[in-house]
């Protein structure tokens, strides 16, 4: 049970809209990949948690005085405890290096890829802050925390001990079933806590670190597939739909135009007028078609 739907992070929406229109450097590719993976893992976890009747907070961003915003990926509130999950969708294998993890990249024998803070460390820091939040709100409940690796292909080598706070893909089902068997329906107190926490949820739409700098002139004027977000080329002015060579789906020109319009709004926070959308879409379409899409949007808003 969750009253809040998980929203795609704004930073990811911007990266998606910039993709194919702007050159990304290595750091930006990494950031984009992490944002995509993070969201994928969270959506996967949501689908699995939703089978049970728990009170779930899908992403809580809270702010304590004098501190940065802290985010917890998933929170479950049961009658006897609160459970925090740090959700990760890592694809490449990695090695446990104590408080860091290092990914393999290219060389299958030696881990020589990016080094990140261990998710367990991240979760510990977030848990400390969450405890301060509980104290501030007068919430008294037992707290449990887990890191959840949602990608079935992910392997973590070099762990010295088996640790029960790290859940790998193959363990998640059993973990959730066990939790379901041991928890009872949320009571009024659980709902009260849920509402208290939700009131702390901080709007993060303006917090967007690592977004590449861009302006209208710096972006390629292309159109992209509404299904897979890849650039589509070679559209004839007269056709009503095209096959995307990337995802092999048939997409209509109206949907392509609609996506162009949506991307423009994400990047520039305003609706383009007819000449602007005509230019934004690489002058590939008749003005009449563009006019109809803009008109339809006007009616809907």
Q: Which of residues 229-258 bind Zn ion (CB under 5 A)?
A: 244, 246-247
DSSP 298: H
* 223, 231 contact by CB (below 8 A): yes
CA distances in angstroms from 12 to 2, 107, 207, 295, listed in the order given: 23, 29, 12, 28
DSSP 157: E
* Contact code string over 170-209 relative to Zn ion, x by CB under 5 A: ----------------------------------------
Q: Which residue from 83, 101, 225, 277 is in contact with Zn ion, where contact means CB under 5 A?
A: 225
State the minimum distance, in angstroms, from the CB of residue 66 to Zn ion. 46
Rg, Å, the chain Cα set: 22
State the minimum distance, in angstroms, from the CB of residue 251 to Zn ion. 7
Q: Hey, what are 189's tokens?
A: 């107190």
In a 3-state reduction of DSSP, which class is residue 71?
Answer: strand
Nearer to Zn ion, 159 or 245 (CB): 245
Q: Hey, what are 186's tokens?
A: 């949320």
Nearer to Zn ion, 128 or 250 (CB): 250
Nearest-angstrom CA–CA distance, 139 and 196: 9
State the minimum distance, in angstroms, from the CB of residue 264 to Zn ion. 19
Which one, of 88, 89, 85, lies nearest residue 57 by Cα? Answer: 85
Nearer to Zn ion, 20 or 282 (CB): 20
State the minimum distance, in angstroms, from the CB of residue 259 to Zn ion. 10
Rule CB under 5 A: say whether 228 interacts with Zn ion: yes
Sign of CA pseudo-dihedral 207, 210, 213, 219: negative
State the minimum distance, in angstroms, from the CB of residue 252 to Zn ion. 12
- Sole window of 147-155, 173-181, 221-229, 272-280 interacting with Zn ion (rule: CB under 5 A): 221-229
Nearer to Zn ion, 147 or 284 (CB): 284
Q: Which residue from 227, 231, 265, 289 is in contact with Zn ion, where contact means CB under 5 A?
A: 227
* 33, 210 contact by CB (below 8 A): no
Nearest-angstrom CA–CA distance, 130 and 143: 10
Rule CB under 5 A: say whether 290 interacts with Zn ion: no
Nearer to Zn ion, 119 or 226 (CB): 226
State the minimum distance, in angstroms, from the CB of residue 16 to Zn ion. 13
Residue identified by tokens 């090695």 is: 95
Nearest-angstrom CA–CA distance, 172 and 174: 5
State the minimum distance, in angstroms, from the CB of residue 248 to Zn ion. 7
Nearer to Zn ion, 1 or 247 (CB): 247
Nearer to Zn ion, 190 or 281 (CB): 281
Interface residues toward Zn ion, by CB under 5 A: 225, 227-228, 244, 246-247
């Amino acid at each position: 049970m969750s009253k809040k739907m998980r929203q795609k992070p704004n930073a990811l929406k911007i990266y998606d809209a910039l993709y194919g229109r702007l050159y990304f450097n290595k750091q930006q590719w990494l950031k984009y990949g992490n944002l995509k993976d993070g969201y994928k893992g969270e959506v996967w976890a949501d689908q699995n948690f939703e089978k049970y009747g728990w009170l779930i907070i899908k992403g809580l961003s809270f702010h304590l005085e004098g501190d940065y915003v802290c985010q917890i990926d998933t929170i479950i509130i049961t009658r006897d405890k609160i459970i925090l999950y740090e959700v990760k969708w890592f694809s490449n294998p990695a090695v446990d290096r104590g408080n860091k993890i290092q990914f393999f990249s290219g060389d299958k024998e030696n881990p020589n890829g990016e080094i990140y803070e261990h998710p367990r460390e991240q979760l510990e820091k977030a848990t400390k802050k969450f405890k301060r939040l509980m104290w501030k709100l007068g919430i008294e409940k037992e707290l449990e925390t887990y890191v959840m690796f949602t990608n079935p292909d992910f392997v973590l080598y070099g762990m010295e001990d088996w640790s029960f706070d790290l859940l790998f893909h193959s363990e998640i089902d059993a973990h959730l079933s066990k939790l379901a068997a041991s928890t009872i329906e949320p009571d009024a107190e659980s709902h009260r806590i849920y509402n208290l926490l939700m009131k702390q949820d901080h709007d993060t739409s303006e917090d967007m670190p690592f977004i590449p700098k861009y302006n209208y002139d710096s972006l390629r004027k292309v159109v992209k597939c509404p299904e897979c977000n890849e650039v589509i080329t070679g559209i004839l002015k007269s056709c009503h739909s095209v096959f995307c060579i990337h995802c092999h789906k048939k997409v209509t020109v109206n949907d392509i135009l609609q996506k162009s319009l949506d991307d423009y709004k994400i990047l520039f926070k305003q609706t383009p007028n007819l000449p602007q959308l005509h230019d934004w879409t690489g002058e590939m379409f008749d003005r009449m078609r563009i006019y109809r899409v803009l008109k339809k949007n006007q009616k809907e808003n």
